[in-house]
Amino acid sequence: MPKAATRQKTQTKTTESSTNGAGNAHSKKSESNDGAAVTDSVNPKVSQSEHKERRQSQKSSIKNVEPELLGEMLYQMVLGRIFEQKCAEVYRIGKIGGFCHLYIGQEAVGVGSMMALKAGDFVISAYRDHVQAMVAGMKPEAVMAELYGKEGGVVKGKGGSMHMFSKEKNYFGGHGIVGGQIGVGTGMAYAQKYKETDNVTLCFFGEAAVNQGMFHESLNMAQLWKIPCIYICENNQYGMGTSQKRAMSISSVAQKAEAYGMANEFVDGMDVLAVREATLRAIERARKDNLPTLLEIRCYRFMGHSMSDPGKYRTTEEIKKYQERDPIFLFRQTLTEAKIISDKDYEEIENRAKEATDKAVKFADESPLPNEKELFTDVYA
Ligand SMILES: Cc1ncc(C[n+]2csc(CCOP(=O)(O)OP(=O)(O)O)c2C)c(N)n1
Ligand SMILES: [Mg+2]
């Protein structure tokens, strides 16, 4: 449990037992979960001690995961980071048009949760979707070509940055309407229950979506109908330029699940293993008993809301504080200290990610623009 949470003032105590009887994973953790206090305390010392605490926790968590999987998780995070740094670079020279929202700083959320899934499980998300698309198994080449609006893109260049989608990989987008995907994700999870599979759905959204009616309607129905949906709120603490504390009356997102008797948990999104463990607990609840969970995963985006954000609403100290807790740096340190990887191995991981990114850019550059005929294919109206 991060210090950020323990030092905050208590808002409302949660009850030990939630009405679903599934055991409330959040009951002890959510008592003092005020997002506002986290951004208020810009103190490098606190940030360093949080980092230290996560290192301790990761050291014990790695014992439960195969070294090969740990290496793959690190690779996916590094690939996501390097790929998106390249996206920013090529965006600035006009290769990518339209909106482009980067995931830099949030990689541990997508990687930790999605790599806990099994074949046949489903994912749906908002528009910050490039890294998740690659974790779902889409090729970096096809993701970059989509960003370029080229024919070789995952949806033939017709979706762009915000609409990565693959039926084969069970990744159902990539949605631009804030909160819109929460209802769709609930329906996707309901379909799995109806078909009597044991597959679950991860439904990602930002904390600004929690103020939408769709969030509340979906959670109510999911708990009432026992739908195997895992709601993942990526709480990066800002909705565009608006801080969460200026927009939400009760800033604990996890706590809102209590209104529906739903299991919930607060997780440190800088720690890929903490994300994995919380997701596994939620997956078990969903597979065994069709019970939904709300995970509030606290994270921070290191870049602006989108490539066109001048970013005047945050201080440099605040950004620095979170950068000191960089999820990739933390995980690399843990794996190095545990002698699971060496510096040379890390270098190799970085080189592989750079090569994959360069290959993606070359592919996107060379891919043709969609044919005019494509204007009338795959259109739903
Ligand atoms: C229904 C709706 N209202 C407003 C917008 C404009 N808008 C785009 S992104 C965004 C902020 C969303 O923030 P959050 O859900 O926290 O996700 P994040 O960008 O932080 O990942 C807003 C208000 C929108 N796309 N849809
Ligand atoms: Mg946000």
In a domain, 106, yes or no: yes
Mean pLDDT of 57-78: 96
CA of 234 to the centre of ligand 2 (A): 7
- What pLDDT sits at residue 85? 98
- What pLDDT sits at residue 47? 76
In a domain, 114, yes or no: yes
Please report, rounded to a whole number, the percentage of residues in the chain having pLDDT higher than 90: 83
In a domain, 295, yes or no: yes
CATH of the domain at 164: 3.40.50.970
- What pLDDT sits at residue 42? 61
Mean pLDDT of 235-239: 98
Please count the structural domains in the chain.
1
In a domain, 375, yes or no: no
The parent domain of residue 105 ranges over 73-363
Closest residue CA from atom 4 of ligand 1:
178
CA of 237 to the centre of ligand 2 (A): 5
Q: Evaluate whether 205 touches 181 at the Cβ level (below 8 Å).
A: yes
Q: What six digits make up the tokens of 282?
A: 């939620």
Q: Per-residue confidence at 177, pLDDT binned at 50, 70, 90?
A: very high
In a domain, 260, yes or no: yes
Instruction: State if residue 213 touches ligand 1 by the CB under 6 angstroms criterion.
Output: no
- What pLDDT sits at residue 8? 33
HSE of 315, CA atoms in CB hemisphere, 13 A:
8
Mean pLDDT of 305-332: 95
The pLDDT tens digits of the residues spanning 327-379 come to 999 999 999 999 999 999 999 999 999 999 999 999 999 999 999 999 899 88
User: Which residues are near ligand 2, the ion (C-beta closer than 5 Å)?
Assistant: 206-207, 236, 239
Mean pLDDT of the chain: 89
Instruction: State if residue 375 touches ligand 1 by the CB under 6 angstroms criterion.
Output: no
Residues 18 and 16: their CA atoms lie apart, in Å, by 7
In a domain, 202, yes or no: yes
DSSP state of 297: E
Q: Evaluate whether 151 touches 370 at the Cβ level (below 8 Å).
A: yes
- The dihedral formed by the CA atoms of 101, 35, 267 and 110, expressed in degrees to the nearest 10: 0
Residue 26 pLDDT more than 80?
no
The pLDDT tens digits of the residues spanning 75-104 come to 999 999 999 999 999 999 999 999 999 999
CA of 125 to the centre of ligand 2 (A): 13
Mean pLDDT of 268-279: 97
In a domain, 213, yes or no: yes
**C-alpha distance from residue 323 to each of 1, 48, 104, 112, 302 (Å):** 19, 11, 10, 19, 7
Residue 3 pLDDT more than 80?
no
The pLDDT tens digits of the residues spanning 144-168 come to 999 999 999 999 999 999 999 999 9
Residue 33 pLDDT more than 90?
no
Residue in the structure block whose two tokens are 């609006």: 149
